[in-house]
Chain A
């Protein structure tokens, strides 16, 4: 018999309409490139290195300055300071040497983009070529030329471990248990090396930034960015601007996926603006520049060895990762740290030895990319677990279930993990896929198979990355919530409105969270990265809303001569549980309440403030990687695919995909599902198509002609998504992040499905039709 439930007005957990849907679908939403600056606007173009590794002997730009319309040329001489998020290894322009093809050596500012571009040809740069490092394993060796001779001088936080005198910008280690002692006890051991190429984020909106410096010292940057506050902090330091004078305005953004985090090309117009006061200067990257001059996802060579006992219990793993960090690793070093502390994947392994090595190469610069190292790591771990299950002769799903992390497990870093719903995720995906059930292909020339892979990821960030929020009450009962986190398509403004509405006790429709983020007016947020906003900014918004609520209730309590504990706010009314009195909040949240008999007033404009910063993340030992709490928490999940492969062409058709992730609490279930679908599709794209084809340091396919991404027709018609909710103790309403995670397991899951379909293990993405066909041909599956 059904039990009647008390009706609640809860908006958390409801798939309310996105707050920004109208402006986006009608095209009214304003992006950075849409902002008009009038005739004063000048344009910037960048002179770039054609060489992967060379010394700069001389730069002569005299001729460029003579071109009518050219206002300014700047070079590395003008800006000696370093900039960088974690390891400060980068100048705004190359100074003594260039380290990758496409690195900026000078910039021209001119009245038009065409003139600026033309002036680049009038800049002569004399180079002395050096041997490039084009492979991370070679780069880590003693034979490799040193790319950053000044490594030892670079500033970095205490959790980054550069190896001075080498190309190793970070060497993260885990030594847990005794792997050497464990190997003899293993009934099955698998060893394999996997290679994952660089890929690019491919935001549909390329990077764009406009900067203007005023005579009074004020500097403004308008940018398509995930990180207005980090950009303010890093550029202010590098260019000696007080943070209070430096304003970053961040309109809506057309895709970031990590490449618009930290500071990259934005530094160039800001630097130029400081030399040309009063003039707004714009730099808009071409698609080609987007591909090879800004961040890419690092390449990875991952060498894995893993063993289990006769019952399939994992006993030990050795994981050696050589990350192709590219020419600068200011951001990338922390990708390799994340790869290190999560290097088991979501498995419980008692004996662990990890070396996660970030290597400088003369390749494009590695940076944050949705998943932050996890997709690359899981490409290896997710495959080798299937290989080991096969070797020990155990059902693959059973093997994953037996070994996956569970609440209370001691992780490789020594951290005890909170409750996670990973077994439930595996179960849901396995059932949806009918995993283990061999199904017939649709035609005789097709092979059909299924694969599953698990994923985990923790927010990767400094231990003390903070958030803040303001809740401002209006006289009509509406509420403005100010945040510093960026709406980059993920729906964070909507989720924040839901959290604020729920916490404050007002209808969702009454709450507005709007951009642009403006460092002058918006409260601080570290960066919009790491799948951390719902959790971290959500906590700040909740705290701000609770602060406003407390202020509201205090006023009413005084007016009604009641205790605040007996009062609550529901649907925009303060109600008393004791007296059943009520008052609409709009009547007093700005103008206050009159005291009786016209004897003065109570209250005043209500502004709630809240912040959040995790205070409980501890350091890890440099030699063993052991510590109390490496990360705040992990989001875990599983994903699987049912595929067909055409034996005539090698082409994959994905028939069906299923994802299940434990998000703690889905603030907005539809948006959680959209993240699961979108992450899967982006992951599938990287699994099937994407690769920066680097030859001699030069990218051969920097355009959509030859860098293919998945389109609607490449995606399965049906994708099922399952939301698992094991509440997170430090998250708002129990929520944790989901933005990156669905991308993480795709490559491994697809590789496992290909193996299931063909009996041929093809380990290194992208799994192009050609790669599959030629492997099948070699294996004799086709002839």
Chain B
């Protein structure tokens, strides 16, 4: 029987004064405490009983968490507590990381995005996370504060399963940084939900093309959402696209490789067979789009 509970279970709200204090608290209450940012996943999951946290550790107000900065030499840093609406509205982000802006626009609703954060979306580690693909393809690196202080955690290898990451108790992702993007890159996020907006992804495909010294003349990146326990890099498809001169047939071949390389499941949102087909079609459409753009 699905949850008929009216509200949140009893839990303590903790607001530490520093990252050190927050980390210490999280270590001391490992397994029963969770850091939270916008709360758009936390509140829902705790009410659903999916999480049994006794403590919600509010890390929003900690140093640097709400900062968004762009450096024309180094790139972009987004504090963990910066809401998606702020990211998407930032002119520098719009100019240099358009794929991230597009991905933000596909998350839930405008209202929710005034609280939801990109770092939260990443750390929540849903295979359907809309901003994860762009974060990976733009080379995002998390800056994580743990019991041993700060460390950098690239997103490659970060995801371990639905809701699971390499983060350990006491770790707090404080920000995410992206290197400067290539001025001629193109990035798209194609998402298929049941409604046109506001749904979780049945399938989501993030594709990027960057001019490069490869046989094809480009690096391509493809990340698939909702078709594996973790955000799935379509490596075989990427390899095809770098090794051959690009035309529609090669794009179709790569899209087919993306489809063949994923093993989605059946769930209430969609069937596995449909998901595979959609991986192929959306990957193909996305690739055609970015290829057309970078070719100009």
Query: Does A167 count as interface, using CB distance less than 8 angstroms?
Result: no
Task: Given A102-B1, A769-B194, answer yes or no on A648-B7 (Cβ-Cβ < 8 Å).
Answer: no
Partner of B274, one of A48, A714, A774: A774
Q: Which A residues are CB-close (under 8 A) to B213? A: none
User: Quick one: closest A residue to B281, CB to CB?
Assistant: A648
Partner of A698, one of B1, B4, B281: B1
Query: Does A773 count as interface, using CB distance less than 8 angstroms?
Result: yes
Chain A 411-444 interface mask (CB, 8 Å, partner B; 1/0) = 0000000000000000000000000000000000
Query: Does B200 count as interface, using CB distance less than 8 angstroms?
Result: yes
A45 and B6 CA atoms in complex are apart in Å by 9
- Shortest distance between the CB of B213 and any CB in chain A (Å): 33
Query: Does A124 count as interface, using CB distance less than 8 angstroms?
Result: no
Q: Which A residues are CB-close (under 8 A) to B10? A: 114
Assess the A288–B4 pair: CB atoms within 8 A.
Answer: yes
Query: Does B296 count as interface, using CB distance less than 8 angstroms?
Result: no
A596 and B282 CA atoms in complex are apart in Å by 89
Assess the B2–A773 pair: CB atoms within 8 A.
Answer: no
Query: Does A286 count as interface, using CB distance less than 8 angstroms?
Result: yes
A348 and B81 CA atoms in complex are apart in Å by 65
Partner of A648, one of B1, B2, B268, B285: B285
Query: Does B273 count as interface, using CB distance less than 8 angstroms?
Result: yes
A139 and B202 CA atoms in complex are apart in Å by 34
Assess the A770–B1 pair: CB atoms within 8 A.
Answer: no
Assess the B195–A701 pair: CB atoms within 8 A.
Answer: no
Assess the B277–A713 pair: CB atoms within 8 A.
Answer: no
Assess the A702–B195 pair: CB atoms within 8 A.
Answer: no
Query: Which residues in window 1-36 of B have CB below 8 A to A?
Result: 1-7, 10
Stretch at the interface among A6-14, A521-529, A704-712: A704-712
Assess the B4–A289 pair: CB atoms within 8 A.
Answer: yes
User: Quick one: closest B residue to A777, CB to CB?
Assistant: B277
Assess the B5–A286 pair: CB atoms within 8 A.
Answer: yes
A774 and B274 CA atoms in complex are apart in Å by 7
- Shortest distance between the CB of A294 and any CB in chain B (Å): 11
Chain A 24-56 interface mask (CB, 8 Å, partner B; 1/0) = 000000000000000000000110111000000
Assess the A701–B196 pair: CB atoms within 8 A.
Answer: no
Chain A 755-783 interface mask (CB, 8 Å, partner B; 1/0) = 00000000000001110011001000000
Assess the A114–B1 pair: CB atoms within 8 A.
Answer: no
User: Quick one: closest A residue to B193, CB to CB?
Assistant: A708
User: Quick one: closest A residue to B44, CB to CB?
Assistant: A705
A599 and B232 CA atoms in complex are apart in Å by 97
Q: Which B residues are CB-close (under 8 A) to A651? A: 192, 196
Query: Does B163 count as interface, using CB distance less than 8 angstroms?
Result: no
A587 and B269 CA atoms in complex are apart in Å by 67
Assess the A769–B192 pair: CB atoms within 8 A.
Answer: yes
Q: Which B residues are CB-close (under 8 A) to A770? A: 202, 270-271, 274
Q: Which A residues are CB-close (under 8 A) to B7? A: 113-114, 117
- Shortest distance between the CB of B178 and any CB in chain A (Å): 30
Residue among B1, B274, B282 having the largest count of chain A Cβ atoms under 10 Å = B1
Assess the B195–A711 pair: CB atoms within 8 A.
Answer: yes
Query: Does B43 count as interface, using CB distance less than 8 angstroms?
Result: no
Assess the B6–A113 pair: CB atoms within 8 A.
Answer: yes
Query: Which residues in window 96-116 of A have CB below 8 A to B?
Result: 101-102, 113-114
Query: Does B144 count as interface, using CB distance less than 8 angstroms?
Result: no
Query: Does A284 count as interface, using CB distance less than 8 angstroms?
Result: yes
Tally A-B pairs: CB < 8 A.
77
- Shortest distance between the CB of A542 and any CB in chain B (Å): 43
Q: Which B residues are CB-close (under 8 A) to A710? A: 195
A216 and B127 CA atoms in complex are apart in Å by 60
Q: Which A residues are CB-close (under 8 A) to B271? A: 770, 774
Q: Which B residues are CB-close (under 8 A) to A286? A: 3-6
Query: Does A293 count as interface, using CB distance less than 8 angstroms?
Result: yes
Chain B 232-276 interface mask (CB, 8 Å, partner A; 1/0) = 000000000000000000000000000000000000111101100
Assess the B2–A702 pair: CB atoms within 8 A.
Answer: yes
Query: Does A79 count as interface, using CB distance less than 8 angstroms?
Result: no
Interface size class of A (residues with CB under 8 A): 35 or more
- Shortest distance between the CB of B289 and any CB in chain A (Å): 12
Query: Which residues in window 181-217 of B have CB below 8 A to A?
Result: 192, 194-200, 202
User: Quick one: closest B residue to A293, CB to CB?
Assistant: B4
Query: Does A292 count as interface, using CB distance less than 8 angstroms?
Result: yes
A774 and B276 CA atoms in complex are apart in Å by 11
Q: Which B residues are CB-close (under 8 A) to A708? A: 194-195, 199
Q: Which A residues are CB-close (under 8 A) to B278? A: 649, 773
Assess the A773–B277 pair: CB atoms within 8 A.
Answer: yes
Query: Does A700 count as interface, using CB distance less than 8 angstroms?
Result: yes
Query: Does A618 count as interface, using CB distance less than 8 angstroms?
Result: no
A288 and B196 CA atoms in complex are apart in Å by 24
Assess the B274–A689 pair: CB atoms within 8 A.
Answer: no
Assess the A711–B198 pair: CB atoms within 8 A.
Answer: yes
Q: Which B residues are CB-close (under 8 A) to A649? A: 192, 278, 281-282
User: Quick one: closest A residue to B194, CB to CB?
Assistant: A708
A38 and B281 CA atoms in complex are apart in Å by 58
Query: Does A693 count as interface, using CB distance less than 8 angstroms?
Result: yes
- Shortest distance between the CB of A717 and any CB in chain B (Å): 13
Query: Does A308 count as interface, using CB distance less than 8 angstroms?
Result: no
Assess the B1–A50 pair: CB atoms within 8 A.
Answer: yes
A777 and B271 CA atoms in complex are apart in Å by 14
Task: Given A689-B195, A711-B195, A769-B192, answer yes or no on A700-B268 (Cβ-Cβ < 8 Å).
Answer: yes
Assess the A48–B1 pair: CB atoms within 8 A.
Answer: yes
A65 and B283 CA atoms in complex are apart in Å by 59
Assess the B274–A711 pair: CB atoms within 8 A.
Answer: no
Query: Does A699 count as interface, using CB distance less than 8 angstroms?
Result: yes
A292 and B285 CA atoms in complex are apart in Å by 39
- Shortest distance between the CB of B121 and any CB in chain A (Å): 16
A747 and B282 CA atoms in complex are apart in Å by 28
- Shortest distance between the CB of B253 and any CB in chain A (Å): 15
A699 and B4 CA atoms in complex are apart in Å by 12
- Shortest distance between the CB of A40 and any CB in chain B (Å): 20
User: Quick one: closest B residue to A689, CB to CB?
Assistant: B194
A689 and B269 CA atoms in complex are apart in Å by 11
Q: Which A residues are CB-close (under 8 A) to B281? A: 648-649
- Shortest distance between the CB of B9 and any CB in chain A (Å): 8
Q: Which A residues are CB-close (under 8 A) to B195? A: 689, 708, 710-711, 713-714
Residue among B4, B6, B274 having the largest count of chain A Cβ atoms under 10 Å = B4
Q: Which B residues are CB-close (under 8 A) to A292? A: 2
A703 and B200 CA atoms in complex are apart in Å by 13
A188 and B13 CA atoms in complex are apart in Å by 71
Assess the A714–B196 pair: CB atoms within 8 A.
Answer: yes
- Shortest distance between the CB of B118 and any CB in chain A (Å): 21
Q: Which B residues are CB-close (under 8 A) to A284? A: 6
Q: Which A residues are CB-close (under 8 A) to B268? A: 693, 700-701, 706
Q: Could you list 13 A-B pairs, sorted by A, with CB under 8 Å?
A: A114-B7, A117-B6, A288-B2, A648-B282, A648-B285, A649-B192, A649-B278, A693-B268, A703-B2, A706-B268, A713-B196, A713-B197, A773-B277
Additional 12 contacts, C-beta under 8 A, given A702-B2, A777-B277:
A48-B1, A117-B5, A288-B2, A649-B192, A649-B278, A651-B192, A651-B196, A689-B194, A708-B195, A708-B199, A711-B196, A773-B277
Q: Which 10 A-B pairs have the closest CB atoms?
A: A648-B281, A770-B274, A50-B1, A706-B268, A708-B194, A713-B196, A289-B4, A702-B2, A288-B4, A713-B197
